[in-house]
Amino acid sequence: MPTFEEARKIILDSVVTLGMEKVEILSAVGRVLAEDVAAPWDMPLWDNTAMDGYALWAADCPEGGSLKVAGFLPAGDHMTDEVERGTAVKIMTGAPIPPGADAVVPYEETEEQDGQVFIKTAVKPGDHIRFKGEDVKTGETVLPAGTRLRPSEISMLASFGKLFIPVHRKVHVAILSTGDELVDPGEALTPGKIINSNSLALAAAVVQAGGIPVMLGIARDNRESLREKLAEGLRADVLITSAGVSAGDCDYVRDVLAELMVSQAFWKIDIKPGRPTAFGLRDGKPVFSLPGNPVSSLLTFEEFVRPALLKMMGHRRVLRPMVKATLKEGLRKKPGRVNFIRVAVEQENGDFLVQSAGKQDTGFLKTLLLADGIAVIPAERGDLNAGERVNVHLID
Ligand code: AMP
Ligand code: MG
């Protein structure tokens, strides 16, 4: 049985990044560039003023002085005539520096009266000018493949005039719940039945990771039903099943996956909760079999499936931030397995403080609602004391 780290390594080593598609720029937010993007032109496009003020020859007033105001240049306009010596052009932020001028004096340092401007400060060439190509040069690969697109990258792409962006494809994730006890939300809850919440929970987690859920519904605890649904699920990029992989009498998922030529890397992971978490591949396609327990299925999705989906969609950073946090109170733990403990996280004086988000038994879904982190406690550890430092994955 692999450890937590071993299982995650097996998974991440076996999934590969998906191909490329071009999408409209706003659909590219949060996705990952699949090709290098080079600058089609210099930025700034031309020398321009960083301030509202006066463009002039610095040599005309190195220590300040008085100049005739010879023109007005708003943003969006440009001048072709050279600025005459001894004169200044009133200029608005962003406007191209007129020929001849080599400095801008901001309004705040001037006083204008009767067509003359009085410069109250020393001036040297280059003052308050943003130079052509100073930020980005034509041909420079500003956005390499693998870049995650945030508003700042969208800003750069937009200023390159690019409206369709090459990004890695979104992963299609088939989601199958299994169990005779399940009814879908909205259906009659007769005695012995429970609502299939896992399909929607996992779909929500897929959406949050940036993927596209493909809802397969419920397979019943028999081979025929499982065979049909699992075969359908193998048409997606990834297949996730929930429940039916423990050692129970009705747990056929294992057999049917084998029939469908899914070669299994492992059936269990040495963690708590989430021990019955399995992973296999069919022609390179990942198949995750998660525990049926709603808390365990979301925790194992978080720690094992999400990183894999992110890698498939081209992300380089696939793990949530792991921070060191101080325990506000002690935690119970038996030595033996890595434990995932749902914790509430606070920030105080630049430190993270955590405490149990509630009852840790996997029957308590509410505890997950109150959690903003998962404390990952090493296998060998026993009970922990208040004040100890622990590793916490920030999930929120
Ligand atoms: P199993 O892995 O089949 O032993 O199921 C473990 C527990 O999870 C049982 O209490 C099931 O009723 C529950 N469970 C299984 N599948 C789902 C589901 N799709 N939605 C909510 N609970 C589930
Ligand atoms: Mg079951």
CATH code, domain with 290: 3.40.980.10
CATH code, domain with 152: 3.90.105.10
Return the sign of the alpha-carbon dihedral for residues 66, 72, 77, 78: negative
Give the atom of ligand 1 at the shortest distance from the alpha carbon of 250: 3
Q: Provide the pLDDT for residue 372.
A: 96
**161 and 206: one domain?**
no
Q: DSSP states of 238-262 as a string?
A: EEEEES--SS-TT--HHHHHHHTTP
**Dist CA 206 CA 268 (whole Å):** 22
**85 and 216: one domain?**
no
Nearest to 277 by CA among 244, 237, 320, 322: 244
Q: Provide the pLDDT for residue 247.
A: 74
* Ligand 1 pocket list (CB less than 6 A): 177, 179, 181-182, 194, 196-198, 242-244, 246, 248, 291-294
Give the atom of ligand 1 at the shortest distance from the alpha carbon of 251: 3
CB 294 within 8 A of CB 274: no
Q: What is the pLDDT of residues 113-171, one digit of tens each?
A: 999 999 999 999 999 999 999 999 999 999 999 999 999 999 999 999 999 999 999 99
Q: What is the pLDDT of residues 334-358, one digit of tens each?
A: 999 999 999 999 999 999 999 999 9
Q: Is residue 317 part of a domain?
A: no
Residues of the chain with pLDDT under 70: none
User: Which residues contact residue 234 at a Cβ distance below 8 angstroms, ignoring those fewer than 6 apart?
Assistant: 174, 260, 262, 282, 285, 287
Q: Provide the pLDDT for residue 245.
A: 85
Q: What angle do CA 366, 344, 307 make, to 5 degrees?
A: 85
By most ligand atoms within 8 Å of CB, the mutation choice from 180, 184, 194, 254 for ligand 1 is: 194
Q: Provide the pLDDT for residue 394.
A: 97
By most ligand atoms within 8 Å of CB, the mutation choice from 180, 184, 198 for ligand 1 is: 198
Give the domain range for residue 329: 322-394
Nearest to 11 by CA among 240, 201, 256: 240
**Ligand showing the shortest atom-to-Cα distance for residue 195:** 1
**Dist CA 170 CA 167 (whole Å):** 9
**214 and 331: one domain?**
no
**52 and 36: one domain?**
no
Number of domains comprising the chain: 4
Out of 253, 280, 312, a domain closes at 312
Q: DSSP states of 141-181 as a string?
A: EEE-TT-B--HHHHHHHHHTT--EEEEEPPPEEEEEEE-TT
Q: Provide the pLDDT for residue 246.
A: 78
Q: Provide the pLDDT for residue 288.
A: 98
DSSP state of 360: -
Q: Is residue 212 part of a domain?
A: yes
Give the atom of ligand 1 at the shortest distance from the alpha carbon of 196: 20
